[in-house]
Structure 1
Amino acid sequence: MNDLTQCVFTPEVLANGFNPLGVGVHRASTIVFKDAAAYASRGDRGHEGYSYGLYGTPTTRTLEAKLTTLEEGAWSFLTPSGQAANALAVLPFLAAGDHILIADTAYPPMRELAETDLKRLGVEVEFFDPMSADDVAAKMRKTTKIVWCESPGSTTMEIMDLPKIAAIAHEHGAIVGVDNTWATPLNFKPLKHGADIVTEALTKFVSGHSDVLMGSITIKDTALLKPIRSLIGRMGIGVSPDDASLVLRGFETLGVRLRHSERVALEFARKIAAHPAVEQVLHPALESFPGHALWKRDFLGSSGVFSIVFKPEAAAHVATALDTLKVFAIGASWGGTRSLAAPMSIDGFRTATSWSGPGVILRLSIGLEDETELWADIDRLLAALVPEIDVSSEGPRSAAGRG
């Protein structure tokens, strides 16, 4: 071969003796075939075969396989973000005239997709009280195709009785989908509790380093595979093998990161709940939380994300108090190594239920920093909310610790 040909041909190198722990990054758009007959019959390879880079490479398939095993499902798909996973999980199963029921506490972009795009396509959209299986039963119709859940609920952490809600949905022939991003498959396995589809924002805890966007869809039954795979292909949606390799790397430390943030977050939640500026701490693992019994029954653990509802006189000063933080960063998303604080709006994102608290509450995500320094940061924030209270004294912290 001349030099120009050598530039585009890749020599085959024997892999004997090369067996690394890290997953190789396989980049590809075109997949070549040994002869014309193999190309003509490429469709026979099925969903597990390789035919074009859009549908997977060994790198992305490795991540999909890991997710499928942990979710205890039949197959997984990767998407460019968590919200892309939510959208691609419902769109294949809805048409004009169909009806979708969505938990009132679902991730706001999912709510906006329903109220904007699904309605524009002629889908009837309705929201239900996530704490009431009876509300789900009352709102089911003959045209209901999907019941979309998120447990805990976005920001306000409501825990759903998923087995009961799934049974109601299945009685009416509807599919049940669950956004499982808060728990990850290490803390909750929706497919074991009645769900048909589970989505994850791998962007958050699974990747764990705040440097990559990705989502996943895992299905319980291969009957759901073709509709999702076909839509992904028609829309030309794929993920980068390089990004998949970052998620695979983060996956390896998910267990230790999640258990650390779980422990520190629960300790902090108990201490914060005792502070006079705080109305309520929204954390499912707290014994005082309304959905705690359901969480304890169905979940394997908790995560490092929880929310704080301040009393009205303190809530008015949250924005100013955030500027006292030195270790926590102020930013969206969560689940990375850096702890984050984000004021979250509740007003305007509830229709089937009512929210009696302030319009904005504070969400914390606990990362991997020194926990003493993190608590000192929270002390500063609480002091700025209620300056006349000496939150640096041992009294409030000791009392909270005994709780």
Structure 2
Amino acid sequence: MTRRGPSTELIHHPFRAPDGWDAVPVPVHKASTMLFKDTAQLNTPRTRDGISYRYGLPGTPTTYTLAARIATLEHAEHCVLTPSGLAAITLTSLAFLAPGDEVLLPDNAYGQNRHISNGLLRRLGIAHRFYDPLDVPAFEAMLSDRTKLVWLEAAGSVTLEFPDLIGLLRACRARGVRTALDNTWGAGLAFNAFDLLPDREPGFGADLSMQALTKYASGGADVLMGAVCTRDIALHRELVAMHENLGYGLGQNDVEAVLRGLPTIALRYRAQDAATRDLARWMQGRPEVARVFHPALPGSPGHEHWRALTTEAGCLFAALFKPAYAPARLDAFVDALTCFGIGYSWAGPMSLAVPHEMSRSRSLGLSWTAEEGGTLVRFAIGLEEVEDLRADLAQAFEVLSR
């Protein structure tokens, strides 16, 4: 046989790993073009259920392995992956809303979900309103024939109020309104989004659960990714169709990174949870602090709803400082921290601190008064030693008091 040119030989090289070869890490399959064994396979209609080995954009075996594992984590049957948590929110809203519809969001929703509703969805003729996640009767009164999707978030963004999920879901089920839970905080570990009352009402839960896999699933603060899970094949097919229309694709090295982080998610979640409770309780005793928001602390908004569903609480807490401390002084407090980075996101190895001016991100007012407190700082606790974090906070309080 005449030897072909080097480029041809390298492109069509016959070596393949033997059948049955296996290892602990999931193989990383990078592909845009996927090959068919013949034209009959090429012309076979593609599946409607999301797994398609026809082109690299929907996914590769690596992608679908991660999707299956996230579905298991979330106690779901189906999962669609997206390039970020925000992309997962956008996918969900666009898949289930049309011009003339209305979506309801909790007033403490993730800020980018608010921006999508105020911007993209408004331009598409989709209305939105915000509701108090702790006031079920008022929420129930808002539901109308136009309401086609309700976003839930547990716990709420930044201030971590824990909603009355059971009451909100009952109201939605009574009206036949679809529900989507931002479950990034719970990560599929704190509670089962699809089965909140397993002993009393099996299967009572949200219709859809999304996560920013950027957070706990990755754990490395180095990947952007999201997921939307469901137990309903019809809903999954609608997500898959919109996913295809949006052209969402994932880098396979990012998928590999999340697959690598996933086996330690429960260990990290519980370790960060324990450290966060320790520091949140300590922060309650500081004279500079008016209030600490953390679902596991009695008195934190929605604590009783949290206690009814779970015993786990993740890596976040927020401290509301007394009005005597102006925003500029709180900035100096955050700047003085040495074990805490200044940056968004959470659930990575490094602890983070960010000051927030909450009046700019609420539509219904705040659950505290100006007399009670001023600027709020949200803390995300990483994997450092608790004693080091506490000492760092203590020295920053000295800067605050100067």
Given the two structures, how large is their TM-score scaled by the length of structure 2?
A: 0.92
Structure 2 match to 1:318: 330
Instruction: Note the C-alpha offset of 1:46.
Output: 4.8
Structure 1 match to 2:391: 376
Partner Cα separation in structure 2 for residue 149 and residue 344 of structure 1 = 22
Structure 1 match to 2:354: 342
Instruction: Note the C-alpha offset of 1:135.
Output: 1.7
Structure 2 match to 1:140: 143
Report if the CA contact (8 A) 1:180-1:188 is conserved: no
CA separation of 1:359 and 1:85: change in aligned 2, threshold 3 A: farther
Structure 2 match to 1:28: 31
Which is worse superposed, 7-16 or 236-245?
A: 7-16
**Pairing 1:219–2:236 present:** no
Which is worse superposed, 158-167 or 116-125?
A: 158-167
Structure 1 match to 2:260: 249
**Pairing 1:235–2:246 present:** yes
Partner Cα separation in structure 1 for residue 158 and residue 49 of structure 2 = 40
**Pairing 1:208–2:208 present:** no
Partner Cα separation in structure 2 for residue 266 and residue 191 of structure 1 = 26
**Pairing 1:267–2:242 present:** no
Structure 2 match to 1:390: none
Q: How does 1:38-187 map to 2 (within 5 A)?
A: 38-44=41-47, 46-187=49-190
Report if the CA contact (8 A) 2:164-2:302 is conserved: no
Structure 2 match to 1:327: 339
Partner Cα separation in structure 2 for residue 266 and residue 45 of structure 1 = 45
Q: What SS does structure 2 have at the residue aligned with 1:149?
A: strand
Identity of matched residues, %:
37
Instruction: Note the C-alpha offset of 1:10.
Output: 4.3
Structure 1 match to 2:199: none
Report if the CA contact (8 A) 1:347-1:359 is conserved: no
CA separation of 1:28 and 1:292: change in aligned 2, threshold 3 A: same
Structure 2 match to 1:391: none
CA separation of 1:9 and 1:360: change in aligned 2, threshold 3 A: farther
Which is worse superposed, 163-172 or 84-93?
A: 163-172
Q: What SS does structure 1 have at the residue aligned with 2:66?
A: helix
Q: What SS does structure 2 have at the residue aligned with 1:185?
A: coil
Give the letter aligned to residue 57 of structure 1.
Answer: T
Q: What SS does structure 2 have at the residue aligned with 1:348?
A: helix
Where structure 2 has 5 or more consecutive residues not aligned to the other structure, the ranges are 197-204
CA separation of 1:224 and 1:44: change in aligned 2, threshold 3 A: closer
Deviations 1:3-39 (A, max 9, x none): 2221212434243563210111111111211111111
Report if the CA contact (8 A) 1:42-1:51 is conserved: no
Where structure 1 has 5 or more consecutive residues not aligned to the other structure, the ranges are 388-403
Give the letter aligned to residue 150 of structure 2.
Answer: V
CA separation of 1:230 and 1:104: change in aligned 2, threshold 3 A: same
Instruction: Note the C-alpha offset of 1:173.
Output: 2.0
Partner Cα separation in structure 1 for residue 41 and residue 48 of structure 2 = 10
Count of matched residue positions in the alignment of Structure 1 and Structure 2: 387
Which is worse superposed, 38-47 or 281-290?
A: 38-47
Partner Cα separation in structure 1 for residue 72 and residue 322 of structure 2 = 44
Deviations 1:340-371 (A, max 9, x none): 11112311211134343556310111111122
**Pairing 1:11–2:14 present:** yes
Partner Cα separation in structure 2 for residue 284 and residue 16 of structure 1 = 50
Given the two structures, how large is their TM-score scaled by the length of structure 1?
A: 0.92
Give the letter aligned to residue 251 of structure 1.
Answer: L
Structure 1 match to 2:200: none
Question: Which residue among 319, 329, 343 is the counterpart of 1:308?
Answer: 319
Instruction: Note the C-alpha offset of 1:44.
Output: 4.7
Report if the CA contact (8 A) 2:108-2:157 is conserved: yes
Q: What SS does structure 2 have at the residue aligned with 1:4?
A: helix
Give the letter aligned to residue 340 of structure 2.
Answer: F
Partner Cα separation in structure 1 for residue 231 and residue 311 of structure 2 = 20
Instruction: Note the C-alpha offset of 1:385.
Output: 2.0
